[in-house]
C-alpha cells in the first residue's frame, strides 16, 4: 500500500533533537503539532534543562504524555530574566490559546467609578476601559451591577451630577435627578461651587474607606440643624446618612484588617475548575466574579493558580495583596512580575487563620457552589443538545448551534444577527452582527437579507478555517423562517459547497402561537414537537435570544443614524468643536449655511478649521 502523504515524526525523540542547540538561558518555548498549531507555551529558568524533561520517554502525566506524542517541532525565544519569560509566556498563552495550557477564557474589563477633574463642577460616572480621562478612579468593581448600585446610592448620599458636560451647559432648569433628590443641580446655581466641591471631597473620602468619621460628622450636622429648627436640612442630612448605611449593607463583608486585596479561591471537581475573585478596596467589598478556566483535570492546584494569576493580571493592575486559597509555583517570581507591572510591591499570601483566612474560606465556598451550578447547567445543556440530534435526526450531537435573525423597519437600518449556543450555554463572545450592504435588495426582502448574511458568514469560514479544525463551524443552523427561508439559505450553501451542514427553519406555525412552532428541513416533511418537550423550549430560548440580539443591534444602528448630523463627517471636528458650533449657530444646518467669517468667530475654531468646515459644506 502506497501513500503520497509524508508521515511527520513526533514525540520525545523529536524533542531530543533540540537539546544540541539549546543553552541554559531563560526563555519561552512553544510545542507545535504536525500542522504547526501551537500545543503548549511554557517558560523556563533554564531552557535546556526544561526541554530535556520532555525528551524523557516516560515519567509524565497523561496530559503531558499526550502533548509530547503530538509534538513535531518546537520554537524558542530567550529572554534576559525569568521574570521577562513569565510575562511573555502569559501574553503568548492569551494570544495563541494553546490546547494543553490552562486558559482563562473570560477576558472582560472591569468597571470603575470616575470622579472627573476637568470641570468646575465634577461629575461622577461609571467608566470602563483605558484610564485616559482626567480624574480620580475608584475600582475595580466586579460587575456593572455592582458599580451601578454603588453609584445610585452615592448620588443619594452626595448629590453629585452624572449628566454629560453638554447636557450640563444646556440646562435652564433642574432635571429629574434634582427633583428626586439625587443631584444638587449645580447646572442652574442651586448650590455654590465651594459647597459642591465639599460634596466631591466627601464622596472621595467615602470611596477611600473613610466612612466612620464622615457619618459621625454628618450626624453632628444633622443634630445641629435640628436644634436650630432647620428641619428640611436635617432631613436631607438624615437621608444622606441612610444612603451611606445602605451602601455598606449592600457590600456585605467589609473587612477591617484588609485595606486593598484580591481574594482568589480555586475549587476543582469532575475535571473542571472554578476560580472566585473578590475585590476588596478601601476596606470595602466591591463585588466578586467567578471564572471557569479551561483545564484538563490532571494539573496540580499550584499550576492552575499560577496560570490564572498570570493571565488575569496580564492587562490589569494588581492590588497590593493577593489572598489565595492555594499557593503558586515560583511565588517569588510571580511577586516580582506583578510588582514590575504595578510599579510597587505586591504581596502574595495563603492565610491560615484570622480575618484573611475567613475571606479566603468565603471565596472558596462561593467557588464550590458556583462550580456545582455550572456542572448542573452543563449536564442539562448536554441533554438538550442530544435532544436536538434525536429530534432532527442529525448525524451527530451539535457542539455549536448558530441561530440567525434579521431586523429592520421597512428595509431601513437593516441588520442581520447570529447567536451561538453550545455545551456551556450561550457563547456571547461568538455573537456576530451584520450590517446589510446589498444595495440591490428590495426594502424588506427578508430572503435576500438572509442570503447575504449566510454568504458572508460562510465565505469567511471557508477563508479562515477551510479544514474545519478550529471549532468555529456549526453543527446545526437554525433559521427564523419557513420553507422560503430554508430554500433561500440552501441555495447559498449549495453554491458554497457547504450543504453538508444541517439546517432547520423555525416558523411560528398555526396562529403564530408560541408553542406551535413548525420546523422545516430540506427534502423532509414539516414537523412539530410536543408542547411540553424541553427541546422545544430550548429552541424557543435560542430563537428569542437571536431576536433580542437582532433588535438591540437594529435599535443601536437606528439611534446612531438618527443622532448623527452632517458635522460627524467633517474632518477634524470632534465632540468639543461640534458642541461649540452647535451652541453658536443652534443647528448643524445653520453651520452648513454659515459664512466663513462667522465660522472664524466661533470660540475654539481656528482659521484653518473654519476654512475646512466651510469648504466641506460648500463643496457638497
User: What does the pLDDT look like over 497-534, one tens digit per residue?
Assistant: 898 999 999 987 665 556 678 899 988 899 999 888 88
Q: Is the pLDDT assigned to residue 6 strictly greater than 60?
A: no
Distance CA 270, CA 268 (A): 7
Query: Where is average pLDDT lowest: 205-214, 288-297, 317-326?
Result: 205-214
55 bridge partner residues: none
**pLDDT score recorded for residue 409:** 63
User: Looking at per-residue confidence, does 261 or 253 come out higher?
Assistant: 261
Residue 254 pLDDT more than 70?
A: no
My answer on whether 232 and 348 are in the same domain is: no
pLDDT for the residue 107: 65
Residues 554 and 433 both lie in one domain: yes
Is 463 part of a structural domain of the chain?
Answer: yes
In degrees, rounded to 5, the angle at the alpha carbon of residue 398 between the alpha carbons of residues 393 and 403 is 100
Q: Give the lowest-confidence range in 9-13, 467-471, 502-506.
A: 467-471
- In the predicted model, what is the mean pLDDT of the chain? 85
Which of 126-140, 238-252, 253-267, 326-340: highest mean pLDDT? 326-340
**Phi, psi of 536, rounded to the nearest 5 degrees:** -65, -45
Q: In which domain, by residue range, is 615 found?
A: 566-619
Which residue carries 444633622 as its cell?
222
Does pLDDT of 550 surpass 70? yes
Instruction: Quickly state the pLDDT bin for 464 (edges 50, 70, 90).
Output: confident
Q: Note the pLDDT tens digit of each residue in 363-397.
A: 999 999 999 888 888 888 999 999 999 999 999 99
Report pLDDT digits (tens) over 119-164.
889 999 999 888 888 899 988 888 888 888 888 878 888 889 998 8
* Among the listed residues 519, 525, 474, 518, the one whose alpha carbon sits nearest the alpha carbon of residue 500: 474
| Angstrom distance (rounded) from CA 61 to CA 248 | 48
Tell whether 7 is covered by a domain. Answer: no
- Residue 6 lies inside a defined structural domain of this protein: no
Average pLDDT estimate for 173-189: 89
Mean pLDDT value of segment 478-495? 87
507: DSSP letter: E
343 is a domain residue = yes
CA distance 282 to 259: 5
C-beta neighbour count of 404 within 10 angstroms:
26
* 106 domain-assigned: no
Which whole number is the average pLDDT over 90-95? Answer: 89
Nearest alpha-carbon partner for 61 in 295, 330, 270: 295
Lowest mean pLDDT among 142-151, 243-252, 358-367, 548-557: 243-252
What does the alpha-carbon distance between residue 616 and residue 205 come to, in Å, rounded to a whole number? 49
Would you say residue 258 has pLDDT above 60? Answer: yes
pLDDT attached to residue 384: 93
CATH of the domain at 587: 1.10.150.20
* Per-residue model confidence (pLDDT) at position 161: 92
| 171 or 431, greater pLDDT | 431
Q: Where are the beta strands (DSSP E) in 14-153?
A: 27-32, 38-44, 73-78, 112-116, 124-127, 135-138
Based on the domain organization, do 532 and 490 belong to the same domain?
A: yes
Q: How far is CA 119 from the centre of its chain?
A: 30
383 domain residue, yes or no: no
Q: What is the DSSP string of 512-578?
A: G-TT--EEEETTEEEE---TT-HHHHHHHHHHHHHHHHHHHHHHHHHHHHHH--GGGGSTT--HHHH
Residues 339 and 408 in one domain: no
Residues 543 and 412 in one domain: yes
Count: domains in the chain: 5
Report yes or no on 382 lying in a domain: no
pLDDT, position 231? 81
Higher pLDDT, 210 or 162: 162
What are the tens digits of pLDDT across the range 58-75?
A: 888 888 999 999 999 999
pTM, two decimal places: 0.72
pLDDT category, 3, cuts 50, 70, 90? Answer: very low
CA atoms within 13 Å, Cβ hemisphere of 66: 9
Q: Hunting for cell 523529536 — which residue is that?
A: 14
Give the separation between CA 149 and CA 286, rounded to whole angstroms. Answer: 11
Has residue 352 got a pLDDT over 90? yes
Residue 490 sits in a domain of what CATH number?
3.30.420.340
Answer with the one of 229, 250, 271 that is the final residue of a domain. Answer: 250
Query: Do 246 and 287 lie in a common domain?
Result: no
Q: What pLDDT does 220 receive?
A: 82
Domain identity same for 91 and 203: no
Per-residue pLDDT at 359 exceeds 90: yes
Q: How far apart are CA 51 and CA 34, in angstroms?
A: 19
Residues 593 and 525 in one domain: no
Per-residue pLDDT, averaged over 239-262, amounts to 71
Quick check: is 451 in a domain?
A: yes
> What average pLDDT does this structure show over 567-593?
79
Looking at residue 144, what is its pLDDT? 82
Tell whether 493 and 585 lie within a shared domain: no
Task: Tell me, yes or no, whether 535 and 599 share the same domain.
Answer: no
Q: Verify that 222 and 266 share a domain, yes or no.
A: no
Would you say 443 and 411 are in contact if contact means Cβ atoms under 8 Å apart?
A: yes
**CATH number of the domain residue 54 falls in:** 3.40.1440.10
Residue 47: the pLDDT is 94
From 197, 223, 250, give the residue that closes a domain.
250
**Span 460-482, mean pLDDT?**
87
* Whether residue 416 is found in the same domain as residue 524: yes
Amino acid at each position: 500500500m502506497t501513500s503520497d502523504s509524508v508521515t511527520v515524526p513526533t514525540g520525545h525523540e523529536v524533542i531530543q533533537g533540540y537539546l544540541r542547540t539549546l543553552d541554559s538561558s531563560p526563555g519561552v518555548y512553544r510545542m507545535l503539532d504536525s500542522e504547526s498549531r501551537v500545543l503548549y507555551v511554557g517558560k523556563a529558568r533554564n531552557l535546556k534543562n526544561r526541554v530535556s524533561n520532555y525528551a524523557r520517554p516516560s515519567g509524565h502525566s497523561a496530559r503531558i504524555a499526550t502533548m509530547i506524542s503530538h509534538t513535531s517541532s518546537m520554537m524558542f525565544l530567550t529572554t534576559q530574566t525569568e521574570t521577562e519569560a513569565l510575562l511573555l509566556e502569559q501574553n503568548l498563552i492569551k494570544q495563541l490559546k494553546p490546547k494543553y495550557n490552562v486558559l482563562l477564557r473570560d477576558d472582560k474589563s472591569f468597571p470603575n467609578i470616575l470622579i472627573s477633574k476637568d470641570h468646575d463642577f465634577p461629575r461622577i460616572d461609571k467608566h470602563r476601559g483605558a484610564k485616559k480621562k482626567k480624574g480620580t478612579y475608584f475600582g475595580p468593581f466586579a460587575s456593572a451591577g455592582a458599580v451601578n448600585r454603588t453609584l445610585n446610592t452615592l448620588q443619594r448620599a452626595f448629590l453629585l451630577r452624572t449628566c454629560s458636560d453638554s447636557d450640563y451647559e444646556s440646562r435652564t432648569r433642574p432635571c429629574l435627578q434634582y427633583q428626586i433628590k439625587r443631584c444638587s443641580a449645580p447646572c442652574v446655581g442651586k448650590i455654590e461651587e465651594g459647597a459642591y466641591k465639599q460634596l466631591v471631597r466627601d464622596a472621595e473620602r467615602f470611596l477611600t474607606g473613610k466612612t466612620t468619621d464622615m457619618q459621625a460628622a454628618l450626624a453632628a450636622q444633622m443634630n445641629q440643624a435640628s436644634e436650630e429648627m432647620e428641619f428640611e436640612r436635617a432631613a436631607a442630612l438624615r437621608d444622606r446618612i441612610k444612603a451611606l448605611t445602605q451602601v455598606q449593607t449592600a457590600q456585605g463583608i467589609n473587612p477591617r484588617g484588609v485595606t486593598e486585596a484580591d481574594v482568589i479561591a480555586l475549587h476543582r471537581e469532575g475535571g473542571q475548575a472554578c476560580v472566585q475573585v473578590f475585590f476588596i478596596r478601601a476596606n470595602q467589598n466591591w463585588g466578586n466574579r467567578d471564572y471557569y478556566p479551561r483545564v484538563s483535570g490532571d494539573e496540580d492546584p499550584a499550576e492552575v493558580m499560577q496560570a490564572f494569576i498570570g493571565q488575569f493580571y496580564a492587562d490589569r493592575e494588581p492590588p497590593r495583596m493577593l489572598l489565595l486559597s492555594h499557593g503558586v509555583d515560583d511565588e517569588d517570581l510571580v511577586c516580582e512580575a506583578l510588582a514590575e507591572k504595578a510599579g510597587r510591591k505586591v504581596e502574595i499570601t495563603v492565610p491560615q487563620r484570622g480575618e484573611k483566612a475567613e475571606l479566603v474560606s468565603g471565596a472558596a465556598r462561593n467557588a464550590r457552589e458556583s462550580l456545582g451550578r455550572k456542572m448542573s447547567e452543563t449536564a442539562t445543556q448536554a441533554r438538550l443538545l442530544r435532544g436536538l440530534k434525536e429530534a432532527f435526526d442529525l448525524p451527530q450531537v451539535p457542539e455549536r448551534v448558530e441561530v440567525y435573525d434579521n431586523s429592520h423597519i421597512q428595509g431601513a437600518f437593516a441588520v442581520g444577527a447570529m447567536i451561538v449556543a453550545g455545551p456551556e450555554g450561550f457563547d456571547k463572545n461568538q455573537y456576530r452582527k451584520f450590517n446589510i450592504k446589498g444595495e440591490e435588495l428590495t426594502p424588506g426582502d427578508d430572503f435576500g437579507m438572509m442570503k447575504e448574511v449566510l454568504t458572508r458568514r460562510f465565505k469567511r469560514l471557508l477563508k479562515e478555517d477551510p479544514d474545519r479544525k478550529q471549532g468555529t463551524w456549526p453543527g446545526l443552523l437554525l433559521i427564523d423562517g419557513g420553507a422560503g427561508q430554508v430554500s433561500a439559505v440552501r441555495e447559498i450553501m449549495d453554491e458554497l459547497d457547504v450543504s453538508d451542514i444541517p439546517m432547520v427553519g423555525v416558523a411560528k406555525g398555526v396562529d403564530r402561537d408560541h408553542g406551535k412552532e413548525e420546523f422545516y428541513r430540506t427534502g423532509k416533511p414539516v414537523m412539530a414537537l410536543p408542547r411540553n418537550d424541553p427541546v422545544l423550549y430550548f429552541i424557543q430560548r435560542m430563537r428569542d435570544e437571536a431576536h433580542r440580539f437582532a433588535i438591540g443591534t437594529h435599535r443601536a444602528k437606528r439611534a446612531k443614524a438618527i443622532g448623527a448630523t452632517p458635522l460627524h463627517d467633517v474632518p477634524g471636528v470632534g465632540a468639543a468643536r461640534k458642541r461649540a458650533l452647535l451652541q453658536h449657530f443652534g443647528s448643524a444646518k445653520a453651520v452648513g449655511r454659515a459664512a466663513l467669517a462667522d465660522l472664524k468667530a466661533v470660540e475654539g475654531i481656528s482659521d484653518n478649521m473654519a476654512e475646512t468646515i466651510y469648504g466641506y459644506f460648500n463643496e457638497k
